[in-house]
Amino acid sequence: MKEIKLLLLFFIIGTSSFGQDLKISASSFSIQPEKGMLASHTRVNVLVENVYGDLKNVVYLFEDNGKRFLLITSPLGVDGYLRQPIVNLANKVLNLNEDQVVTASSHNHTVPAIILNSDGADEFNQAQKLSHKVGKDFMEKLEKSFLSLENKLVPVNVEWGKAEENRISYNRRGSYPNGKTYFMREEDRQLVGEGYIGTIDPDVSVVVFKNSKNNQPVAALSMFACHPVVAYNPEKQFSFGQFPQIMTEMLSEYFNGIPVGFVQGSSGDINAKFMLTGTIEQAKEAGRLLGETAIIAAKNLIPSVRTGLEYNSSVARIPFADLPSLPELKLSLAEIDDFIKRGNAGDENTLSCVGMNFPKALTPPYRANLILGVRDWYVWAIQQHDNNKLFEIPRNLPIKIFIARFGDVGLSVFPYEVFVKTGLKIKRETNLPIVLAGGYSNGTYGYIPDESATDDREYMSGYFRYRKNSPPYTGKAGDAAADLAVKILNDFAK
């Protein structure tokens, strides 16, 4: 009888611990941009004029009884043009498939563009050579990090903390008296008033993974919802890690040098202050402020009650609306052509067109270039009418979202620029004490508005036009993905 009781006890212990043995390993590495490289986040051929420090990247391997996924956090375009090479490398080194690889960009606007493809390298100009050199360095260091992950896996407990930060961000979807919305850049924010904030997500979230054997931190992950654009100007570019990197460096120092990554929150309509007109000193100060708040969160960590790891990669469907009428489209195209002509001629009175507004801080030719980016959409939409193809237009956009839970912490990341109300909806409706709800991961579908913004046509809400052949969004729009994320997270929370 005693032996039976012991066997029963071992069985209970064994079954209760199965699926609860979360392990993690993490590695960080830096690349060093150089002056004269190609710049990213610009529509003109400008180069990086100044470089302020390195750019840090962090990779994590999560494992629980055979279940694995990889997370890469970076200031570079790992959600877009770098994703497939990263997935290929992860498959080669770690035998992971595409659904097990999460590539999360901080969406930093002050980073260079890097080149991985060496085809035609003999004909590269100096800027391309520099971008290829740094791109090669990135991939070599990434592979080295991948190779180190399996040997560093350790069992961990998950702790988390949150603190509120409302000094550096604001909602950039301003509203005119007639109810129409506009893109509120720095000069517009100053007109509204220095105290303006609007609807933001003030949570600075910090998740710490502690070795379950000695309770020492081995890695941490952070999130905040805000475009890293302090001092960014697309016509005058520099390289700088912005506030995500300063914050993570401060957290790393606080935890004695552990790797600390950053996943961008639901910041599609959330800006940092001082876009286009700021200074590098203001950019550094924003980082210090955010870092101070993150350390407050780190000093007040809460241990998870739940254990283990779960994750899911599922398809959400974002509903499309009908195209505008043919007369409306033709009038808009004429308005665009007139705007482009005047902008290229230097007309300063080129401040609004087809629902979009532009700041005086950008030159008229650059404003014309921004509008040129949507012109093809109107040509395409007119062709659908002319060729009687309206019935062939898809009714929804299928996108793949990644959802996970480790301990009490939920992770929900989407392949587009998520509006803040969508992120807040996920956090509000999920039965977990903390959810990292963000975007800029595993794909680049641009901005997808929340349900309240589908009829607006400022830059963010009307971004579908930059996708050339995508209808407007309708109904729940991005909130349709949020509904699916909440359902999965709440299944994980049971």
pLDDT in tens, 202-226: 999 999 999 999 999 999 999 999 9
268: nearest Cα among 97, 52, 482, 36: 482
pLDDT reading at 2 higher than 90: no
Q: What is the pLDDT of residue 20?
A: 57
Residues 15, 443: Cα–Cα separation, whole Å: 38
Q: What is the pLDDT of residue 21?
A: 87
Q: What is the CB-side half-sphere exposure of residue 227 using CA atoms within 13 A?
A: 29
478: nearest Cα among 437, 436, 431: 437
Q: What is the pLDDT of residue 12?
A: 37
Q: What is the pLDDT of residue 9?
A: 39
Q: Quickly state the pLDDT bin for 19 (edges 50, 70, 90).
A: very low
Q: Report pLDDT digits (tens) over 130-187.
A: 999 999 999 999 999 999 999 999 999 999 999 999 999 999 999 999 999 999 999 9
Quick one: DSSP state of residue 224?
Answer: E
**Do residues 364 and 344 touch, judged by C-beta distance below 8 A?**
yes
Q: What is the pLDDT of residue 14?
A: 36
Q: Report pLDDT digits (tens) over 308-351.
A: 999 999 999 999 999 999 999 999 999 999 999 999 999 999 99
**Do residues 317 and 480 touch, judged by C-beta distance below 8 A?**
yes
Q: What is the pLDDT of residue 404?
A: 98
Percent of the chain with pLDDT over 90: 95
Phi, psi at 144, each rounded to 5°: -60, -40
Q: Report pLDDT digits (tens) over 384-436.
A: 999 999 999 999 999 999 999 999 999 999 999 999 999 999 999 999 999 99
Q: What is the pLDDT of residue 120?
A: 87
Angle, helix 242-254 to helix 280-298, in steps of 10 degrees? 40
Quick one: DSSP state of residue 395?
Answer: S
pLDDT reading at 68 higher than 60: yes
Sign of CA dihedral 131, 134, 136, 139: negative
Quick one: DSSP state of residue 275?
Answer: T
pLDDT reading at 3 higher than 70: no
C-alpha distances in angstroms, 138 versus 30, 125, 135, 356, 493? 8, 20, 5, 37, 37
Residues 487, 483: Cα–Cα separation, whole Å: 6
Residues 131, 77: Cα–Cα separation, whole Å: 13
- Strand spans (E) along 346-440: 352-353, 356-357, 396-406, 409-413, 417-418, 434-438
Please name the residues in contact with 488: beta carbons below 8 A apart, sequence gap of 6 or more. 312, 314, 403
Please name the residues in contact with 146: beta carbons below 8 A apart, sequence gap of 6 or more. 59, 70, 89, 90, 93, 94
Q: What is the pLDDT of residue 1?
A: 46
**Do residues 105 and 440 touch, judged by C-beta distance below 8 A?**
yes
Q: Report pLDDT digits (tens) over 242-283.
A: 999 999 999 999 999 999 999 999 999 999 999 999 999 999
Q: Quickly state the pLDDT bin for 114 (edges 50, 70, 90).
A: very high
**Residue 302, SS3?**
strand
Quick one: DSSP state of residue 324?
Answer: P
Higher pLDDT, 16 or 147: 147
Q: What is the pLDDT of residue 18?
A: 40
